[in-house]
């Protein structure tokens, strides 16, 4: 009996320290969401990053940017329209979707609408039996692209525009489009509000329009100056703000003349109550619609790379307009430039030099491997590095096995928990001391920093100010290829 007791007593003291160790290593709770956060749909939308805008309609054939609704619908007559060519081009360019101007300000509908007499039904194309939206939506599905539509509430042709009845007519028009062509990932609205054929302007019922969209397409992102899904970023040059918050205050504002100030659209607001990420729309040509006079004015490769950096590289999605010509095809000059851009981006961002480097952080949440700095290079969206709640500043070092030469740094915040970083800086080691590279403000979903070539064995990212504990899920170091043309 005494022997049994002694064995039990000794084993308890062996087990007890192990129990202490196990109970002291519990995983800390994840960071709580901070401020406004994206919906699941907004997060998935942000991951798309880059997609195509298509401006196509009577303006393509009249060589104007804004038609007046008085054009003869028979002028719309593409000779070789091929939406599969559009979709194939977008896919090859690395784009994720196509948004088309289903109805521009002239009121012309690219489908045979029951609510208008200014449509493809009245055109010469296919003897009035065609439907561009049907062909394009099917082509997008074939090529694995998402499909979106632009419908302008301004209608310079419809006789009811400027009357109380028109808002319901426009709602019916939305119903028609959003219920007949499969899933719509984005409904694009602008705030243009000019006079109709009766000389009057319309007071838009935005609440009705939004309810119509969500009734038909509950997962769609609605674009406008004030969303509510995503926002215009204030210019058509392709330049989002260097400071770019995905949050903004929208109460009391509307698309168009009652929109927030351009600076706010461009930069967002750190204390914004709504999650409203930016979308950057810009055309590959000087105008939005095709014109033969601009065949030699397609933006250069260098310019498109700059636009990529100032849009997708500044916490914004890039919506690049590529207008089909009068045949109904994307012009070779445009498609060639798109392929050059794809090749340049692929070559520049295919090798992340940080993947084979050693990463260290000044603080790791609860010293837990769940939030280790190595999560920044594992390419898993939902794993991230985070600090303790009371740690609003921190630094990350990337230490290479040998000297590396690079000129791009990519940082990503884990946006499902909100946007947090307010300022950060970057240094590199010259062999004896840290040298300053740049100081910036926001990061957001993705931030691409451009700087002259650096050769070094290590680089440091300093989170200087964060509104809550920083939470990052991606870091990359790249060497941008030399751009010719």
Question: Distance between CA atoms of 308 and 386, rounded to whole angstroms?
Answer: 28
H or E element that contains 474:
strand 471-478
Give the residue from 67, 101, 53, 96 showing the smallest Cα distance to 283.
53
Say how many C-beta atoms besides its own lie within 10 A of residue 367's C-beta: 11
Alpha carbon 90 to its chain's center: 16
Q: Say what the pTM is.
A: 0.94
- Angle (CA) 432-437-439 rounded to 5° is 130
Residue ranges matching CATH 3.20.20.80 in the chain:
40-349
Quick one: fold of 40-349? Answer: TIM Barrel (3.20.20)
Question: Distance between CA atoms of 46 and 467, rounded to whole angstroms?
Answer: 22
pLDDT, residue 485, reads 58
Beta-carbon contacts of 298 under 8 Å, excluding residues fewer than 6 positions away, are: 284, 285, 331, 333, 334, 337
Which CATH number is correct for 353-478, 3.20.20.70, 3.30.1330.10, 2.60.120.260, 2.60.40.290? 2.60.120.260
Return per-residue pLDDT of the chain as tens, 485 residues: 443 334 333 443 333 344 333 334 578 999 999 999 999 999 999 999 999 999 999 999 999 999 999 999 999 999 999 999 999 999 999 999 999 999 999 999 999 999 999 999 999 999 999 999 999 999 999 999 999 999 999 999 999 999 999 999 999 999 999 999 999 999 999 989 998 888 899 999 999 999 999 999 999 999 999 999 999 999 999 999 999 999 999 999 999 999 999 999 999 999 999 999 999 999 999 999 999 999 999 999 999 999 999 999 999 999 999 999 999 999 999 999 999 999 999 999 999 999 999 999 999 999 999 999 999 999 999 999 999 999 999 999 999 999 999 999 999 999 999 999 999 999 999 999 999 999 999 999 999 999 999 999 999 999 999 999 999 999 999 999 988 75
pLDDT, residue 16, reads 38
Question: Distance between CA atoms of 164 and 345, rounded to whole angstroms?
Answer: 50
Torsion of Cα atoms, 14 then 15 then 20 then 21, to 10°: 80
Half-sphere exposure of 112 (CA within 13 A, CB side): 13
Give the residue from 289, 332, 285, 284 showing the smallest Cα distance to 57.
289
- Angle (CA) 321-323-327 rounded to 5° is 165
Beta-carbon contacts of 14 under 8 Å, excluding residues fewer than 6 positions away, are: none
Residue ranges matching CATH 2.60.120.260 in the chain:
353-478
């Amino acid at each position: 009996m005494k022997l049994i007791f002694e064995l039990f007593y000794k084993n308890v003291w062996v087990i007890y320290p192990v129990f202490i160790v196990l109970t002291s290593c519990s995983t800390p709770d994840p960071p709580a969401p901070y401020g406004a956060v994206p919906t699941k749909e907004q997060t998935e939308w942000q991951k798309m990053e880059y997609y195509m805008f298509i401006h196509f309609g009577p303006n393509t054939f009249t060589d104007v940017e804004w038609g007046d609704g008085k054009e003869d619908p028979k002028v719309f007559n593409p000779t070789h329209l091929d939406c599969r060519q559009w979709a194939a081009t977008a896919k090859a360019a690395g784009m994720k979707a196509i948004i088309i101007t289903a109805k521009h300000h002239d009121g012309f509908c690219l489908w045979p609408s029951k609510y208008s007499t200014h449509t493809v039904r009245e055109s010469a194309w296919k003897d009035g039996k065609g439907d561009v939206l049907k062909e394009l939506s099917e082509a997008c599905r074939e090529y694995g692209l998402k499909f979106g539509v632009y419908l302008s509430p301004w209608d310079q042709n419809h006789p009811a525009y400027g009357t109380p009845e028109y808002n319901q007519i426009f709602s019916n028009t939305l119903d028609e489009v959003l219920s007949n062509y499969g899933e719509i990932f984005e409904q694009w609205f602008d705030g243009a509000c000019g006079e109709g054929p009766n000389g009057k302007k319309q007071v838009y019922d935005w609440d009705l329009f939004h309810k119509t969209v969500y009734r038909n397409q509950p997962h769609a992102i609605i674009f406008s100056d004030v969303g509510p899904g995503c926002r215009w970023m204030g210019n058509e040059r392709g330049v989002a703000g260097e400071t770019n918050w995905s949050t903004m205050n929208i109460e009391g504002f509307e698309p168009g003349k009652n929109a927030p100030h351009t600076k706010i659209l461009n930069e967002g607001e750190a204390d914004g109550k709504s999650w409203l990420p930016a979308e950057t729309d810009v055309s590959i040509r000087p105008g939005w619609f095709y014109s033969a006079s601009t065949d030699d004015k397609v933006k250069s490769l260098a310019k498109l790379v700059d636009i990529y950096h100032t849009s997708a590289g500044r916490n914004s999605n890039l919506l690049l307009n590529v207008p089909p010509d009068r045949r109904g095809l994307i012009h070779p000059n445009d498609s060639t430039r798109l392929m050059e851009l794809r090749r340049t981006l692929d070559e520049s961002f295919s090798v992340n030099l940080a993947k084979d480097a050693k990463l260290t952080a000044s603080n790791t949440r609860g010293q837990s491997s769940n939030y280790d700095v190595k999560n920044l290079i594992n390419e898993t969206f939902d794993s991230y590095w985070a600090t303790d709640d009371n740690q609003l500043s921190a630094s990350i070092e990337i230490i290479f096995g040998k000297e590396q030469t690079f000129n791009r740094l990519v940082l990503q915040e884990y946006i499902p928990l909100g946007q947090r970083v307010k300022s950060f800086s970057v240094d590199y080691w010259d062999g004896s001391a840290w040298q300053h590279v740049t100081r910036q403000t926001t990061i957001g979903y993705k931030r691409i920093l451009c700087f002259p070539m650096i050769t070094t064995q290590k680089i440091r990212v300093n989170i200087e100010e964060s509104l809550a504990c920083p939470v990052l899920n991606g870091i990359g170091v790249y060497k941008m290829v030399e751009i010719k043309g």
